[in-house]
Amino acid sequence: MTINPSKDVYVDEAYLSIRWDDLHQHVHTEWRAFANSSELRSGLLKGIRAIKEHRAAAYVSDARKVKVIVHEDQKWIKETWMPLAIQAGLKRLAFVTAPTGLGRLTIEDVAGLVDDHEGLHSRTFDSMAAARQWAVSGGK
């Protein structure tokens, strides 16, 4: 698969990658390193643009390298990002978590904030394959 950088890559930073996965028809994020609040929020807003431009119903986030998301950012995700994502058409948000540790607990907290919020469903997974399967199959 060839990615057109101007169309399919929304963020390519040391801490985060966001791109449209044309093959699997979902927005794909990969958290690569710690992102401060400004970086996290800016990156997630670019993800909203990807959802809108591709009319994406599915979003798969590889969050295995996430260590912590502070409570203020979790609140922002719930109160600002989720309504924007829902308005853009997002239906399913799949998180791939680390097998253990604080990062896993943090992502589980965030997934709990999201699940079944006005029709937006989320789940956590141990592998990209399982996350992608759930997200693109309509949450089945």
- Full-model pTM: 0.87
Residue 107 confidence (pLDDT):
82
Quick check: is 9 in a domain? Answer: no
Q: How many domains does the chain have?
A: 1
Quick check: is 4 in a domain? Answer: no
Quick check: is 48 in a domain? Answer: yes
Quick check: is 3 in a domain? Answer: no
Of the pLDDT bands very low, low, confident and very high (cuts 50, 70, 90), residue 90 is very high
Quick check: is 12 in a domain? Answer: no
Quick check: is 121 in a domain? Answer: yes
Q: Of 73, 70, 54, which is closest to residue 102 (Cα–Cα)?
A: 70
With tokens 């956590």, the residue in question is: 124
Are 93 and 114 in contact, with CB atoms under 8 Å apart? yes
Pull the structure tokens for residue 21: 């996965």
Phi, psi of 20 (to 5 degrees): -90, 125
Interval 42-84: pLDDT, tens = 999 999 999 999 999 999 999 999 988 889 999 999 899 999 9
pLDDT over 80 (residue 93): yes
Domain span at 129: 23-136
Which amino acid is it at 110? V
The CATH code of the domain that includes 42 is 3.30.750
Quick check: is 10 in a domain? Answer: no
The secondary structure of 71-104 as a DSSP string is HHHHHHIIIIIHHHHHHHT--EEEEE--SSSHHH
